[in-house]
Amino acid sequence: MATLQDIVSLAKRRGFIYPGSEIYGGMAGFYDYGPLGNELKFNIKQSWWRNMVQMRDDVVGISAAIIMNPKAWEASGHVGTFSDEMFKTSVGRTENDSSVAYLRPETAGGIFVNFKNVLDSMHLKLPFGIAQIGKAFRNEINPRDFIFRTREFEQMELEYFVRPGDDEKAFDKWVKERVAWYKSIGLKNIREHEQPPEERAHYSKATIDIEYEFPFGWQEIEGIANRGNFDLTAHQKASVKDLAYFDEETKEKYLPYVIEPSAGVERIMLAVLCDAYTEEDDRVVLKLHPTLAPYKVAVFPLLANKEKLIAKAESIRDALKKRWMTAWDDRGNIGKRYRSQDEVGTPFCVTIDFDSLEQNDVTVRDRDTMEQKRVAASDLEAYLAERLTS
Ligand code: GAP
């Protein structure tokens, strides 16, 4: 199993994760994401969005402002209740009591305050969900374990609204759905942990955490909570706006209950990196699921100084680029280039050699099996597509 140090050093060396503002000595709890880390994060978010919004008929997505009217955080219990200091800022030219605002500590708030807007503009019927991906900020006293606990991070949250009474069934269903998603992106070493009442957030009737076995032990990567109607009740009271749902079937008006699967992008990223990190005889390989790999394919001309090889390799790369993130490498020998792509998890490498010029074919090398196969240039896209989407 990888140590945290293995991951930290690979992440920095290969452009996944850098300490925030490093040239000024860093800033505790903040990290910057390099070219490969940015792609990996993007792929995690895209897979989540596809699974939670695109592929479902009962979920829509929004993107709310990070800074909200502070009354929203008083209503939700974040200001005045939590022992954690949150992030304060000031809005407007003069700083005084009425200019105080907060960077959001969770994305959920933006969903609850827009419940009625989304309901009315999208003509939704229960059960339905509103999803959001976005930044959240917490002034954590003890940021730790690399990107596991930071002060700025991204959340992927769904608020799934149901009729009161249907919440327990929906809760169980969402736990299963979320575990299935982690399996679909290839994550091993996960388990469910039911939080006892004393561990739960103030709004939660029940919470199950999905935990991953990190090098520093089993830790939460996602929480699935039954928030009841805590939030809509609190916002209805504080805003003095009617947030009730009219149920056309039962002709009743009520505040729906809500189930919330809430995951952190960086924690999933760290879990995915730990899970994928593999040391073999003479190589380090990130066995990332193809959906998550930053580059899907790398293209190599056998030699860097042969015009015909370069031209052919460029034309092949240009075609692949339209569909996938690709890498290009013409330095050193092919063995070194393979090792370099293995270390960042690129599933396939394509080499163009002198035979390619004659036969119009390429060598495709598989990251995991290290097998090499000659494939006709005209079949290359279909060959890769079949293997990258399985
Ligand atoms: N809306 C519910 C909520 O925010 P949470 O358990 O506090 O619940 C949900 O956070 C997820 O957000 C966690 O499972 C974790 O993945 C991520 N998260 C929370 N605090 C974090 C931090 N300081 N650094 C990185 N990720 C964090």
What 3-state class would DSSP assign to 296? coil
Residues 295-388, CATH architecture: 3-Layer(aba) Sandwich (3.40)
Separation of CA 171 and ligand 1 centre (Å): 18
**What gap in Å lies between CA 16 and CA 344, rounded to an integer?**
9
- Quote the longest CA-to-CA distance of the chain: 76
Separation of CA 155 and ligand 1 centre (Å): 7
Rg of the chain in Å (alpha carbons):
24
Check residue 62 and give left, alpha or beta (phi > 0: left; psi -120 to 50: alpha).
beta
What tokens does 256 get? 């729906």
Closest ligand 1 atom to 140 CA: 23
Separation of CA 366 and ligand 1 centre (Å): 36
Which phi and psi angles does 155 have, rounded to 5°?
Answer: -115, 150
Check residue 222 and give left, alpha or beta (phi > 0: left; psi -120 to 50: alpha).
beta
Which phi and psi angles does 74 have, rounded to 5°?
Answer: -65, -45
Contact status, residue 283 vs residue 342, Cβ threshold 8 Å:
yes
Task: Give the closest residue (by CA) to ligand 1 atom 19.
Answer: 264
Pocket of ligand 1 (CB under 6 A): 106, 108, 138, 140, 149-150, 153, 155, 157, 220-223, 260, 262-264, 266-267
Separation of CA 78 and ligand 1 centre (Å): 14
Same fold, 4-275 and 295-388: no
Whole-number pLDDT of residue 47: 98
**What gap in Å lies between CA 313 and CA 301, rounded to an integer?**
6
pLDDT, tens digit only, all 390 positions of the chain: 899 999 999 999 999 999 999 999 999 999 999 999 999 999 999 999 999 999 999 999 999 999 999 999 989 888 876 545 588 899 998 888 889 999 999 999 999 999 999 999 999 999 999 999 999 999 999 999 999 999 999 999 999 999 999 999 999 999 999 999 999 999 988 999 999 999 898 889 899 999 999 999 999 999 999 999 999 999 999 999 999 999 999 999 999 999 999 999 999 999 999 999 999 999 999 999 999 999 999 999 999 999 999 999 999 999 999 999 999 999 999 999 999 999 999 999 999 999 999 999 999 999 999 999 999 999 999 999 999 986
**What gap in Å lies between CA 176 and CA 165, rounded to an integer?**
19
Separation of CA 61 and ligand 1 centre (Å): 19
Separation of CA 223 and ligand 1 centre (Å): 8
- The residues spanned by each domain of the chain are 4-275, 295-388
Task: Give the closest residue (by CA) to ligand 1 atom 7.
Answer: 106
The answer to whether the peptide bond before residue 127 is cis (omega within 30 degrees of 0) is yes
Separation of CA 254 and ligand 1 centre (Å): 29
Sign of CA dihedral 57, 63, 67, 71: negative
Whole-number pLDDT of residue 81: 63
Whole-number pLDDT of residue 34: 98
The answer to whether the peptide bond before residue 70 is cis (omega within 30 degrees of 0) is no
| Lookup result for tokens 């990567």 | 221
Contact status, residue 93 vs residue 119, Cβ threshold 8 Å:
no
Closest ligand 1 atom to 265 CA: 16
**What gap in Å lies between CA 290 and CA 389, rounded to an integer?**
7
The top-level CATH class assigned to 4-275 is: alpha beta
Separation of CA 9 and ligand 1 centre (Å): 25
Task: Give the closest residue (by CA) to ligand 1 atom 22.
Answer: 149
Closest CA to 128 of 96, 161, 84: 161
Task: Give the closest residue (by CA) to ligand 1 atom 2.
Answer: 262
Closest ligand 1 atom to 106 CA: 4
